[in-house]
Structure 1
Amino acid sequence: MGLKSSFQFAFLSLGLYVSGAVAAFGYTTSGNNYVVDAGSANPLIFSVSKSSCDINSIRYRGTELQYSSQGTHIGSGLGSATVSISQLSGRFRYIKVTCVTPTLTHYMVVREGDSTIFMATYITQQPSIGELRFIARLLPARLPNEHPYGVASNTNGASSTVEGSDVFVVNGQTRSKFYSSSRFIDEQTHCVFGGSDLMHVCILTPQQESSSGGPFFRDIQTNNAGASTNLYNYMNSGHVQTEPYRMGLHGPYLMQFSRSGIPRVRDVDVSWFGELGITGYVPDSARGTVSGTASGVASGQEGVVHWFNSAAQYWARTDSNGRFTSPRMKPGQYTMVLYQTEFKIATTSVNVNAGGNTNMNIAGNFNTPRNTLFKIGEFDGQPTGFRNADKILRMHPSDSRMSSWGPLTYTVGSSSLYDFPMAIFQSVNNPVTIRFNLPNAPGAATLRIATTLSFAGSRPQARVNNWTGPAPSAPPKIDSRGVTRGAYRGNGEVYTVNIPAGVLVAGSNTITLSSISGSSGATFLGPNVILDCVELFQ
């Protein structure tokens, strides 16, 4: 009996699916597969390979959703694993699938009556493919659409590539799976969906405590690639990696099936996960919190507090009075950072104790009063408002929908913010020119240039009238493409240029900012630096 025939036999003979009726909660075996029935009102039945841990069939409401040529799995598939299954009782009834390799344990849990697969992944070292991700490979004929960013990451029908093997041209527009990303702090639910009944399959991530990158990190979420529609939960990757990977338990996270729209993370309760014997799981009772007040954030900007150590990361937004309370955190000592939007303005440390709350205030002093001669943008850790910043997350900088990159000239007092480029590409729009008038010669002054991300060692060097400022040292290398894959955030360097007296004059002045680097490269693929804010002050 073939695999397809054996599935049909199992479903029919064991009564695992009956159209229009609630099937029986439980599991059985069919050949080399465990067949799991969630017992939900909208029936969810899926099959897991006993030898590889791949999900190789997903039937929701009687419709097969799984792509047949590749499974749904961790990474690109574990290849082989020790796979076991059990039924447990506690607050609810559960079915738990456990997949074990020497360095990774992956859990898939079904709670009776839910059309949801709850998951968690425990690692002791980074997978050999270099990234830790869960990927569901589904049928585009049934689930062609992507939420929340629509067609930006739909690469079906690509006619050519722009760079590498992951940025494509479709109907004259650049598309990439990278253009589906959300910041961790904003990430709620991302889905693929389709059909007249708007069937949705969604990933929900209540937290990313064991991932790396912090609150503003972003990664791939969805991609209709043509042969399959792919739905991801990226946990560790080298995509603009700014800190070491974290080991331990990643999750819980969910793959939820719905025919009534998009589920919300805030409605998810995973407190019962502690009943399941999940390696590395820390219950709320063994965690602590931090609360306090943040000050020094510039008016009109958002306050974000971030806690991290080698084992975990957390974040919280402040309220209108600067008050904050952290999520429930694992005990330990943490670095505590305050951002205004995404710009770091203060750092301290704090201890978190199990079962308790630590009160810790944090204050930034970056925004002390100064005599500002001009400022372009805001110190917010983003290129917001600059030319093409409104497009860069969802398309390649070479896309025809982009406004001209220049080289551009920005005139203080008359140019719009959009006349200033979000990035300086060494081979495209280098340099950017700033023109401004001063009522009198100010003497010595300071030019501060905040950047968000550098590629290939690029950094800005300033020339002020006839004086050339020193060439800054190269920033720490981030071994990843950035802006061409929809990323703008790296380490966030700030360059300070001390301008001697006599350089600035009364009347007309000019500053040029050039991208310099020891590297070279063609067009947008060469050295570049993304800009955050430029300020001249005394």
Structure 2
Amino acid sequence: MSGSPDRAVSRRALVVGAAAAAGSAALAGPLAGAASAAGFGWRDDGANYVVDTGAGLVFKVSKTNGDLTSLVYKGTEYQGYGGKNSHIESGLGSSTVGIKQSGTTILVSVAYGTLRHYYAARSGENNVYLWTNKADSSVSATRYILRVRAGLFLNDEPDSYTYTTSTIEASDVFARSDGQTRSKHYSKRRTVDYDYIGWTGGGVGLWIVRSNHEKASGGPFYRSLLRHQSADGGGLYEILYYGENQTEAERYGLQGPYVIALTDGGAPSSALYHGTLTTPWADSLGISGYVPDSGRGRVAGVGIAGRATAHPYTVGLANSSAQYWGSARASDGYFSIPRVLPGTYTLTVYKGELAVYTGSVTVSAGATTTLNTITVPASNDPDNASAIWRIGDWNGTPADFKNADLMTYAHPSDVRAASWTGNVVIGSGTETSAFPCYLWKDVNSGLLVHFRLTAAQAAAAHTLRIGVTTAYANGRPQITVNDTWTSAIPSPPAQPGTRSLTVGSYRGNNHTFTYSVPASAWRTDTSQYNVLRIDVVSGSGTTGYLSAGTAIDAIDLLA
């Protein structure tokens, strides 16, 4: 059907499932020891392998290229829009596709060059389990897109552009007539924040339940597109490597399972979530790169000392082959990270999203590596340094700065954004909320911060620090104090080379710029304000919100 706004459609809700939603109704999912359901099986229709789970779900996989060509739930077709199927990346092309049944499991395998992809069905379940093994860079990105027919789950969420055709950036950021912006990039969520994505309404829920992302890149705080809705239909994604705003090299190997789940309107079963899902039934299916739980280990930490208890802490493990993470318990910092592939990992403790401790840990198959209490040195947390004044909180994010929350689901030009210009006065009580979360060379460079110093403070040199979370086009801050002293232009730190600030992400590589300001720069009259000017400098970028820019974590003047 047409997506025209002139045609009445049934509006249904769009849902992102947070990790905290584990208590949601379990209306679908693994059925432990399920008996074979009536109708369970598969057939060959000449062009596709047709799999019937025996529980209301029938799906087809192309024998030519491994595309998912049909997804019928209780008689309604959900798959496809614009003549396109659901598949890895934008489709693999000619592939070798096979099928086999092992008891109550059917496995469809797809081989395309060095890439292997799998669909599995279990008798009596309305789920499709997927694995993807990418061995090298011969396929440009690693994503699975489930394409959903138009008119089934229309919505008007931030990632929807059903009712607008006016693009304001590239071909994927749109402006509505009321000045609000929409894009498939505006997911609002970090990887750590969700277990599933999808839509529900009218007695049907359609979801992708994400995998543990052990072969993805970017860590727990990575943001990427999760879903979209437009006039021709909707898309749900499992993004493992997208090549946008990436902070790590791509990892290769088997990723999964991630699950397409159909329900009778409720959330997918928590038994499908990456933290709880077990697949012993897949151990002997011959999936390339598959490592059963018996071949994995666990890391457990007694606790973390030296924490700022007002902040959440996360512990991450990463090497060139895999990544994992877990939350530290608020009361004592205890953490447990299960199902880790054997190997040696860099262990990082994050205060919010700011790394405050790194170490090394080795994991062995079938064993738990137990760590004694980790102590975060006081000097590793910038908040512990004595400051004359501080704007923001050193937590690795621009949280609480002006427009910070909005920027995870809107373009900077959005009508809901407060003015990006305006100066800041220390002692006003609005220092953080008045300071813009992002600074651009062509938008609000030259921002002024006014502050007073005591006579003793003005008689000494001080260090000024500016923490950033990412940068676009090598944007970095240069400072001037009282129009009498200007810092050197700092070297740009390593940051992702793609769009970030305009596509809903402040996540890059946290970096702190330090400036040694001599005593001669300060005003000696204590009744006068000192004036700090912050300019964004770079020889790259274009204009407006695509000029060189940076995202702010915190700013302080040390005592």
Q: TM-score, normalised by structure 2?
A: 0.87
| Aligned with 1:502 (options 520, 537, 543) | 520
Aligned to 1:364: 376
| Aligned with 2:395 (options 375, 380, 386) | 380
Alpha-carbon separation, structure 1, partners of 2:520 and 2:538: 29
| Aligned with 1:400 (options 398, 415, 421) | 415
Q: Residue 252 of structure 1: CA displacement?
A: 0.8
Aligned to 2:353: 342
Q: Say yes or no: does 1:186 pair with 2:222.
A: no
Aligned residue type for 2:101: Q
Aligned to 1:6: none
Aligned to 2:279: 271
Aligned residue type for 1:78: L
Q: Deviations over 1:384-425 (max 9, x none)?
A: 11111120011100111111111x211111141211000111
Q: Say yes or no: does 1:208 pair with 2:210.
A: no
Aligned residue type for 2:213: Q
| Aligned with 2:66 (options 42, 53, 71) | 53
Alpha-carbon separation, structure 2, partners of 1:229 and 1:288: 38
Aligned residue type for 1:389: A
Aligned to 2:454: 439
| Secondary structure in structure 1 of the residue aligned to 2:186 | helix
**Cα contact 1:192–1:229 (8 A) shared by 2:** no
Q: Say yes or no: does 1:310 pair with 2:320.
A: yes
Alpha-carbon separation, structure 2, partners of 1:86 and 1:410: 66
Alpha-carbon separation, structure 1, partners of 2:189 and 2:385: 35
Aligned to 1:409: 423
Aligned residue type for 1:532: D
Aligned to 2:8: none
Q: Residue 483 of structure 1: CA displacement?
A: 0.8
TM alignment of 1:174-323, pairs within 5 A: 174-194=181-201, 196-197=202-203, 199-265=204-270, 267-268=272-273, 269-272=277-280, 273-292=282-301, 293-320=303-330, 321-323=332-334
**Cα contact 2:470–2:495 (8 A) shared by 1:** no
Q: Residue 327 of structure 1: CA displacement?
A: 2.3
**Cα contact 1:433–1:513 (8 A) shared by 2:** yes
Q: Bigger shift: 426-435 or 268-277? A: 268-277
Using the aligned pairs only, state the percent identity.
36
Aligned to 1:84: 98
Q: Deviations over 1:164-201 (max 9, x none)?
A: 1111123432111000252111121100334x32x111
Structure 1, unaligned runs of 5 or more: 1-21
Aligned to 2:25: none
Alpha-carbon separation, structure 2, partners of 1:125 and 1:501: 55
Structure 2, unaligned runs of 5 or more: 1-36
Q: Residue 500 of structure 1: CA displacement?
A: 1.9
Q: Deviations over 1:134-178 (max 9, x none)?
A: 011111211224xxxx61011113221111111112343211100
Q: Bigger shift: 58-67 or 461-470? A: 461-470
Aligned to 1:12: none
Alpha-carbon separation, structure 1, partners of 2:272 and 2:113: 35
Alpha-carbon separation, structure 2, partners of 1:385 and 1:125: 41
Alpha-carbon separation, structure 1, partners of 2:385 and 2:50: 67
Alpha-carbon separation, structure 2, partners of 1:463 and 1:363: 38
Q: Residue 23 of structure 1: CA displacement?
A: 4.9
Aligned to 1:144: 154
Alpha-carbon separation, structure 1, partners of 2:210 and 2:337: 17
Q: In 2 relative to 1, CA 312–476 (structure 1 residues): closer, same or farther, beyond 3 Å?
A: same
Q: Residue 296 of structure 1: CA displacement?
A: 2.7
Alpha-carbon separation, structure 1, partners of 2:235 and 2:53: 23
Q: Deviations over 1:359-398 (max 9, x none)?
A: 2343322237433100100011111111111200111001
Alpha-carbon separation, structure 2, partners of 1:312 and 1:520: 33
Aligned to 2:79: 66
Aligned residue type for 1:57: S
Aligned to 1:30: 45
Aligned to 1:5: none
Q: In 2 relative to 1, CA 228–472 (structure 1 residues): closer, same or farther, beyond 3 Å?
A: same
Q: In 2 relative to 1, CA 266–531 (structure 1 residues): closer, same or farther, beyond 3 Å?
A: farther
Q: Deviations over 1:62-114 (max 9, x none)?
A: 1111225111111111111100011112xxx1010000111211000001111
Alpha-carbon separation, structure 1, partners of 2:135 and 2:211: 22
Aligned residue type for 1:214: G
Alpha-carbon separation, structure 1, partners of 2:326 and 2:541: 40
Aligned residue type for 2:166: S
**Cα contact 1:463–1:512 (8 A) shared by 2:** yes
**Cα contact 2:247–2:509 (8 A) shared by 1:** yes
Aligned to 1:453: 470
**Cα contact 2:463–2:557 (8 A) shared by 1:** yes
Alpha-carbon separation, structure 2, partners of 1:329 and 1:267: 18
Q: Which runs of 4+ in 1 moved over 4 A?
A: 264-268
**Cα contact 2:211–2:255 (8 A) shared by 1:** no
Alpha-carbon separation, structure 1, partners of 2:342 and 2:386: 44
Aligned residue type for 1:535: D
Alpha-carbon separation, structure 2, partners of 1:271 and 1:462: 56
| Aligned with 2:174 (options 152, 168, 171) | 168
Aligned to 1:14: none
| Secondary structure in structure 2 of the residue aligned to 1:480 | coil
| Secondary structure in structure 2 of the residue aligned to 1:524 | helix
Q: Residue 256 of structure 1: CA displacement?
A: 0.2
Alpha-carbon separation, structure 1, partners of 2:150 and 2:304: 47
Aligned to 2:500: 482
Alpha-carbon separation, structure 2, partners of 1:140 and 1:155: 13
Aligned to 1:75: 89
| Aligned with 2:556 (options 525, 535, 538) | 535
Q: Residue 267 of structure 1: CA displacement?
A: 4.8
Q: In 2 relative to 1, CA 28–447 (structure 1 residues): closer, same or farther, beyond 3 Å?
A: same
**Cα contact 1:144–1:193 (8 A) shared by 2:** no
Alpha-carbon separation, structure 1, partners of 2:336 and 2:238: 26
Aligned to 2:32: none
Alpha-carbon separation, structure 2, partners of 1:528 and 1:325: 38
Aligned residues: 504
Q: TM-score, normalised by structure 1?
A: 0.91
Aligned to 1:19: none
**Cα contact 2:200–2:266 (8 A) shared by 1:** no
Aligned to 2:342: 331
Q: In 2 relative to 1, CA 520–178 (structure 1 residues): closer, same or farther, beyond 3 Å?
A: closer
Aligned to 2:5: none
Aligned residue type for 2:350: Y
TM alignment of 1:5-16, pairs within 5 A: none
Q: Residue 316 of structure 1: CA displacement?
A: 0.8
Aligned residue type for 1:155: Y
